Amino acid sequence: MRSKLFRVGITAVLVITAVAFVSTAAFAQARPAAYTPAKTPDGQPKITDGIWNRRGVGGLDGGALEAEAQRPNNPLDPTARNPVSVSARPDGLNNTDRGFLDQFSEKLGLGAEDPDRPAPLPGQRQLMGIAEPGRILPWKPEANAARQDFLLKTNPAKGLKYLEMDARCMQPGLFFGNGPFQFLQTDKQVTILSEYQHFTRHINMDGRPHLPKTFKMFMGDSIGKWEGNTLVVDTTNFNGITSYSREIPYLSEATRTTERFTLTDANTIDYEVTIDDPTQFTRPWKVTGQYTKANDLPELLEYACWEGSITMRNILGDPPSK
């Protein structure tokens, strides 16, 4: 009797699990299956030629297509109009992530909607940012303490290492620079060109392994593969000096990202990146958003940042001599 009940129980669990699994799989596949992209000559799903823009994949501090009024305040702006400014927060920066993000990120259904934000177009993915409950990153306490200590030295910058990489005209590290972008596909690589900081992402599709650990790079070393309509990109070999935003000073060399670019129609790519930096966070966290075809942008123009820039001189003063 007991054993029969046990068997029934097991069966029920198995059935429920199977049903759950099947329906989850069906749900997960439901959206991509609705769109069948064209194929490249060698059979890869084809990313529509041309220029793309980013929506919602901002750092904590920006979004390419966000209207000026919807842009967040600069966290280092010490004026009263910026209530989450680091400088205006001598109280220890608690809750910075939540307060800052609430200014510009759309909700995950966890709070009130921003009435000023336009509704997404039909069928469009909600624009997000950090896809974490409350958008609070899972900091390790010691990393969070180091971060707060660091941030208090950034305005004014107490030295070169307290200056954000954007002010130094460096590549952004994670794939969050302001657009536009151009995607080019060959049989061995997906190449993404960025107007911002004129960087190129070389995503190797030919099965080669990652670079040896000796190589530490701003944009890391990327390997891609297709899973259905999703380009999955695994990136390692980061250099430990790029940041996710002004509020997170650096991501460590141990950082590994997994990006998923899902073609949902000819003009839309859903984007999700999982950021795993075990030295600073208790678990990986995600940022999600979208790329949309920018039909009104014919080409990438030149973004010459370092050439003639006086930003560093303004912040750090004139070097004694070159």
Partner 1 sequence: MKKLRGLVTGAGAVICILMLAGISAEAQQAQRRVGGKPDFNGIWQAMNSASWNIEDHQGEMGVPPGLSVVEGGAVPYRPEALAKKQENYANRATADPTEANCYLPGVPRITYMPFPFKITHTPTAIALSYEWTHALRPVVMDGSPHPETPEENWMGISRGRWEGDTLVVDVRNFNDQTWFDHAGNHHSEQLRVTERYTMTGPDSIQYEATIEDPKVFTRPWKMSMPLYRRKEPNIRLLEYECAYYLQERIYKDAPFF
Closer residue to partner 1 (CB): 118 or 319: 319
> Cβ of residue 217: shortest distance to partner 1, in angstroms?
5
In whole angstroms, how close is the CB of 319 to partner 1 at the nearest point?
4
Q: How far is the CB of 287 from partner 1 (least distance, A)?
A: 23
CB of 298 to partner 1, least distance (A): 7
Closest distance to partner 1 from the beta carbon of 300 (Å)? 5
Shorter beta-carbon distance to partner 1: residue 50 or 134: 50
Q: Which is nearer to partner 1, 35 or 303 (CB)?
A: 303
Q: How far is the CB of 316 from partner 1 (least distance, A)?
A: 4
Give least dist CB 232 to partner 1, A.
Answer: 19
Q: Which long-range contacts (CB under 8 A, 24 or more apart) does 232-235 make?
A: 232/258, 232/259, 232/260, 233/203, 233/257, 233/258, 233/259, 233/260, 233/261, 234/210, 234/258, 235/259
- Residue 260 in contact with residue 231, Cβ under 8 Å? yes
| Closer of 195 and 259 to partner 1 (Cβ) | 195
Q: For residue 260, what is the DSSP state?
A: E
Of 70 and 311, CB closest to partner 1? 311
Q: What is the nearest approach in angstroms of partner 1 to the Cβ of residue 25? A: 34
Cα separations in angstroms, 290 against 42, 48, 65, 96, 124? 26, 15, 11, 25, 9
* C-alpha distance from residue 168 to each of 71, 126, 173, 276 (Å): 22, 32, 13, 25
Supply 198's token pair.
């004129």
Strands 51-55 and 181-185: antiparallel
**Residue 175 in contact with residue 201, Cβ under 8 Å?**
yes
The residue among 102 and 164 lying less far from partner 1, judged by its C-beta, is 164
The candidate with the shortest Cα–Cα distance to 155, out of 210, 218, 78, is 78
Nearer to partner 1, 42 or 113 (CB): 42
Indicate the residue among 101 and 163 with the shorter CB distance to partner 1.
163
Strand segments (E) across 126-255 = 181-185, 189-194, 200-204, 221-227, 230-236
7 vs 202, beta carbon nearer partner 1: 202
Chain contacts with partner 1 (rule: CB under 8 A) = 49, 156-160, 168-171, 182, 184-186, 188-189, 191, 193-194, 197-200, 202, 204, 208, 211, 215, 217-219, 298-302, 304, 306-308, 312, 315-320, 322
CB of 166 to partner 1, least distance (A): 13
One-letter amino acid identity for 141?
P
CA 104, 229, 224 angle in degrees (round to 5)?
85
Give the Cβ contact number of residue 121 at 10 Å.
Answer: 9
Burial 43-52 (b: 16+ CB within 10 A, else e): ebbebbeebb
